[in-house]
Chains A and B, each alone.
Chain A
Amino acid sequence: MAKVGVYVCHCGLNIAGVVDVEKVVEHAESLPDVAIAKHYAYMCSETGQSMIQEDIKKHNLDRIVVAACSPRMHEETFRKTVAEARLNPYLLEVVNLREQCSWPHSDEPENATEKARELVTMGVARVKFLEPLEKRRISVEKNVLVVGGGIAGIQASLDLADAGFKVCLVEKAPSIGGRMAQLDKTFPTLDCSACILTPKMVDVAKHPNIELLTNTEVTCVSGFVGNYEVTAVKKSRYVDEDRCIGCELCTQVCPVKVPDKINEGLSETRAISIYSPHAVPKVAIINPTYCLRLKYNACGKCVDVCEAKAINFEQQPKTIQFKVGGIILAVGSEVFDASKMPEFGYGRFKNVISNIEFERISDASGPTGGKIICPQNGEPPKSVVFIQCVGSRDKRFHEYCCRVGCMVSLKQAILAREKLGRNADVYICFNDLRAFGKGYEEFYERARGLDINFIAGLPSDIRSAADGSLYSDVYDRGINKLLEIHADLVVLANGLVPNSDFDKISELFRVSRSADGFLLEAHPKLRPLESPTAGIFLAGTCQGPKDIPDTVAQASGAASKAIDLLSSGEIELEPLRAVVNKDSCSGCRICESVCPYNAVEMKTEEINGVENLRAEVVEAMCQGCGLCASACPAGAIEMQHYTDEQVLAQVYAASLKTEARGGSPI
């Protein structure tokens, strides 16, 4: 015989404004095994919680039903309340009278009250079959894998390392630095990007707690939160990282020209070269697609000049394996390929460039030494036109706003004005101009003060006259005129887009993607730093386009989350797991095949001298989704806290088949 306490919350007027809470309490009192039923304005408040605790002691209650808002809001809260009163926290049932009752039925108070009564009946029926459960503690590795060495990965690594955690920072390019290393200046301060980034890059390289693996990619992740097993492959540089002194003599003698990736193909480098001007580590790398020695066993001039004897054409890729407690994904994003929008001529007209290409041109360490010139003839432009929202806010490509496009164009327009002086006309063709952050509106004002023309409208297309000059018709809705604008240089504000390898990332790290293609966070408002998979965190633009301040904030936040998770050396796991009844299991493996979390293992057991395959749920991996339990044809799997008995009790109470007057529904 259970002794159930039922507590109906008013939730201010959220519930009580629609549901007659007194009638619900009256009804609860009439249910079998209900020892006490009360209502109160805010059950989650201190007073409300104390009420429950006092009643548990006074009346020896052994089951609690709280009829209030969604369990997603306060189930944890009430579990703690109950636990403090020495009652097992899993003997609590939360009935949702708000999101599932008063809110959707706010215009039908009578029916809502009736429904509330039924929901409480169901809750009381179920709570009587709940069993006490214990959270399990497992030990965790106090180290973290950070994937991606852009500013997000760099910031997260430094925060973790400073907190005493060991960090393995894996970057697939030959150097860390990411997108920020490609920028000239940053908005809104116009700080030199390299100047604020490189000290952090050097800190990473020097930090005793950070193991930096560049030119490396993660190939396999197994295990579970707190105990991940990672396999990574360090690709061959064909240069010994410990010997190379970064003198670049090899680059000077290499005869093979290759497009320079860091400069977005606007310039050429050599088959052996250092990846970027501020590379960390400052070590050369050979591109095997172009190197004559690697392809045809010819040349080899670099070896002759290398005094450090660092070049090794026999170098093999290295497989590295390690264990970590948590993983931070900071894999960044890509830039929209504007050749998908042919009306703007990108790819056809040389003087139509993307914003990232402009950034390289403007950068003093870029292909033109920082001089703004037209790619077609190398001359400075007399007219520069920026076009916003290329590939973004566009249902044909990406529906979202890229968030940074407007600020980037404002910055680039200001730089163009500063470098070209009054000799050039600068235009920004925009739909909406978004300058939302700290100092951003002031930055917009700064641009307006520099005689930059803001054209309120987007062009339909860009055309090239016979002499190669570009022109475009744009309707400005501010003055209601169709303007023909001649441009020497057109800069497209291409948006940030999800990486083309996110499918691979998704599978590798078991992270989902949101509708826009970026990596999915656990909750868009309240949990932006974690993925729904325990122990995997997100930082930077891989979760969604954002600027540097937001990236850094998110990175530090993700690091803090990882520290939270791992600092005690132990974590608690929710006991809401699947459990296999080995006696009923036939070893058919259907559960293994449907489990999205790789949480089912098949174990061979000897029963009466015969070897049998039996399924076993790995507790730490199981997320309690219930797929295996429903898929099992033998009914051999039950979900803890959602056993057939517990669920059916609710169902029968709802359908009034078996009243909750005791008796198991099974």
Chain B
Amino acid sequence: MMKLAVFWGCRILTSQYAYEMSIREVFPKLGIELADLREAVCCGDPVKSINNFAADYLAARALALANETGLKDLLVPCSRGHFVLSEVNDSLTKDETRKRKITDLLKGEELSYDPNVKIWHVIDFLHDRVGLEKIKKALEKPFKGLKLASHVGCQTVRYSDLGRVDDAENPRKLDELINVLGAETVDYPEKLDCCGAALTYSHLDAALSLAGSKIKALQDLAVDGLVVSCPACQMMLDAKQKDAGTAVGAKLNLPVVYYTQLLGLALNIEEEKLGLHLNQSPVNQLLTKISA
């Protein structure tokens, strides 16, 4: 049994429950044990806009909490969290003074920052560490005749110089993870476009328009659903799909699910355990097609 520490961040713990549920169901079935950190705390993402130092402190603190578990691997299912935690190592390597100050602050909390924790996202952990073969072997109910699109999100794949989860211009890992479940994936011109989540702090309408444009474009493609892997993206594309439709003047009807929810279905886990009843988009369309 491989053991992973998990940093859930804020959105998953306070509203995007389906992601947490589906991960907690799916990972043990693949032989992975998850260990929570001692406390729930923000990675620092919104604080980047307020005070970069304080943001780095929060990010380093998250890594320090991971260090406390004694585990070498940290799963960060939220793409924004994954980006923030990946960037802090870079920023503290370049700024010795800041590193010292933050290390001192953490010392005061009896925490120690460790840049050597390996930071994983759900996508690269499943694709690179667990591997497609192992996932395939574990499947109990692979799909047939399903056509899906993937939305890997901005902060999972950009910016390359930092070392990201997948290739920035041609990300394929999430597609391959979907393919291994037995579903076909389609490419679409808007694939790398942003869901708009970060703009909800200041420009909600613009955020909804961005999400709405993406869903609209996908609907024109006649796919059975959209697969995401980040709670911010899910919030925009699923939870706010109706409002997004209003923002772009279109009726939006696209099932949007977390990859782990989809994987859970192929592993024959009950829909309720995967939190599928919590999705706001019309996932029943998708579920019907799957069980057909």
Give the interface of A toward B (CB within 8 A). 342-343, 461, 463-466
A463 to B193, CA, bound (A): 12
A464 to B188, CA, bound (A): 8
**Residue pair B189, A342 in contact (C-beta under 8 Å):** no
**Residue pair A342, B169 in contact (C-beta under 8 Å):** yes
A465 to B167, CA, bound (A): 22
Of B170, B220, B221, the residue contacting A342 (CB under 8 A) is B170
List of B residues within 8 angstroms of A466 by Cβ: 220-221
List of A residues within 8 angstroms of B221 by Cβ: 466
**Residue pair B170, A463 in contact (C-beta under 8 Å):** no
Cβ distance B141 to chain A, nearest Cβ, rounded Å: 31
**Residue pair B169, A464 in contact (C-beta under 8 Å):** no
Interface range, B side = under 10
**Residue pair A465, B189 in contact (C-beta under 8 Å):** yes
A463 to B189, CA, bound (A): 6
A465 to B221, CA, bound (A): 11
Q: Which residue on chain B has the smallest CB distance to residue A460?
A: B192
> Count of A-B contacts with CB under 8 A?
10
**Residue pair A464, B170 in contact (C-beta under 8 Å):** no
**Residue pair A343, B189 in contact (C-beta under 8 Å):** no
A342 to B170, CA, bound (A): 8
Cβ distance B30 to chain A, nearest Cβ, rounded Å: 31
List of A residues within 8 angstroms of B167 by Cβ: 342
A463 to B192, CA, bound (A): 11
Q: A342-B167, A461-B192 provided; 8 other pairs, C-beta below 8 A?
A: A342-B169, A342-B170, A343-B169, A463-B189, A464-B189, A465-B189, A466-B220, A466-B221
What secondary structure prevails in chain B residues at the interface with A?
Answer: loop
A544 to B49, CA, bound (A): 45
Cβ distance B223 to chain A, nearest Cβ, rounded Å: 12
What secondary structure prevails in chain A residues at the interface with B?
Answer: mixed
Q: Which residue on chain A has the smallest CB distance to residue B167?
A: A342
List of B residues within 8 angstroms of A342 by Cβ: 167, 169-170
Contact string against A for B residues 220-258, beta-carbon threshold 8 Å, 1 for contact and 0 otherwise: 110000000000000000000000000000000000000
A535 to B15, CA, bound (A): 75
List of A residues within 8 angstroms of B169 by Cβ: 342-343
Cβ distance A492 to chain B, nearest Cβ, rounded Å: 15
List of B residues within 8 angstroms of A461 by Cβ: 192
List of B residues within 8 angstroms of A464 by Cβ: 189
Q: Which residue on chain A has the smallest CB distance to residue B170?
A: A342
Q: Which residue on chain B has the smallest CB distance to residue A341?
A: B169
List of A residues within 8 angstroms of B192 by Cβ: 461
A582 to B29, CA, bound (A): 77
Cβ distance A397 to chain B, nearest Cβ, rounded Å: 13
Cβ distance A460 to chain B, nearest Cβ, rounded Å: 10
A463 to B217, CA, bound (A): 13
A465 to B188, CA, bound (A): 8
Cβ distance B161 to chain A, nearest Cβ, rounded Å: 9
Question: Closest 5 A-B residue pairs measured CB to CB?
Answer: A342-B169, A463-B189, A343-B169, A342-B170, A464-B189
Q: Which residue on chain B has the smallest CB distance to residue A463?
A: B189
10 A–B pairs (Cβ distance < 8 Å), ordered by A: A342-B167, A342-B169, A342-B170, A343-B169, A461-B192, A463-B189, A464-B189, A465-B189, A466-B220, A466-B221
List of B residues within 8 angstroms of A465 by Cβ: 189
A461 to B158, CA, bound (A): 15
A4 to B25, CA, bound (A): 93
A87 to B167, CA, bound (A): 70
Cβ distance A296 to chain B, nearest Cβ, rounded Å: 37
Cβ distance B166 to chain A, nearest Cβ, rounded Å: 13
Q: Which residue on chain B has the smallest CB distance to residue A464?
A: B189
List of B residues within 8 angstroms of A463 by Cβ: 189
Q: Which residue on chain A has the smallest CB distance to residue B192?
A: A461
Cβ distance B240 to chain A, nearest Cβ, rounded Å: 25
A461 to B192, CA, bound (A): 11
List of A residues within 8 angstroms of B220 by Cβ: 466
Q: Which residue on chain B has the smallest CB distance to residue A465?
A: B189
Interface centre among A461, A463, A465 (most CB of B within 10 A): A463
Contact string against A for B residues 157-193, beta-carbon threshold 8 Å, 1 for contact and 0 otherwise: 0000000000101100000000000000000010010
Cβ distance A498 to chain B, nearest Cβ, rounded Å: 23
Cβ < 8 Å to A, chain B residues 8-30: none
Interface centre among B167, B169, B220 (most CB of A within 10 A): B169
Interface centre among B167, B189, B192 (most CB of A within 10 A): B189
Q: Which residue on chain A has the smallest CB distance to residue B189?
A: A463
A461 to B189, CA, bound (A): 10
A222 to B170, CA, bound (A): 48
A461 to B167, CA, bound (A): 15
List of A residues within 8 angstroms of B170 by Cβ: 342
Cβ distance B169 to chain A, nearest Cβ, rounded Å: 4
A464 to B192, CA, bound (A): 13
Cβ distance B60 to chain A, nearest Cβ, rounded Å: 29
Cβ distance A214 to chain B, nearest Cβ, rounded Å: 40
